[in-house]
Copies of this chain bind each other. A is one copy, B any other.
């Protein structure tokens, strides 16, 4: 039994600090680093890449919509061609820093609204996949199980990692309950931890209806931008290790 723990990182910008990346890098095994269009700036990217490399955490690009004000959380009507070029731009920019740091770029996980749109919109998913494949076909695409992006990535011969969310409610079909609906987010740490253990060790989750449904994931999303984020992440990691789960990067 093994799982990767991934966390969005490098989301500070100029005068603005977000998250405690240094502490979180002691807990997680994969860092999704913002690429400057929805968050992050060149200094932040350089420092975050260097820190992740030093701590042996796998580095991934975390491209988003070009919308700093909206933090990449507002869907934008980009054409597939714009998606492809915008994602390729961001992967390249981050890869400049990994190359300078002598660290490999391992994965790509889209951010925020782009993550959501790519999970359901085939044209966007395929555009994103074209960008990844054109840059480096050995990169791993991190996305939801059963998503448009998962299928597009597999169809293009890319490696994929299925992502789970221990603190989010699921429907019976394995999709996430939207945040706009009641009960979508689970705030109880013990419950979150128990769900993480169940996902990883048994490949299943209790849907919001109460029914137990299968859910196979390769990586768990660890949130980094809440006040207790590091403590929660550490508790989750410990709980998984106590059950014999090996916490290890994607491969």
Contacts and interface: CB of A to CB of B under 8 A. Distances in A.
Interface of A: 11, 13-16, 18, 36, 39, 41-43, 45-46, 66-71, 73-78, 81-82, 84-86, 88-97, 99-100, 113, 131, 134-136, 225
Nearest to A113: B77
Given A43-B81, A99-B92, A74 B76 contact: yes
Contacts of A81: 43
A75 B65 CA distance: 12
A66 B37 CA distance: 13
A128 to B, nearest CB: 13
B93 A89 contact: yes
Contacts of A13: 16, 68-69
A92 B88 contact: no
Central interface residue in A15, A18, A41, by most chain B CB within 10 Å: A15
A35 to B, nearest CB: 9
A93 to B, nearest CB: 4
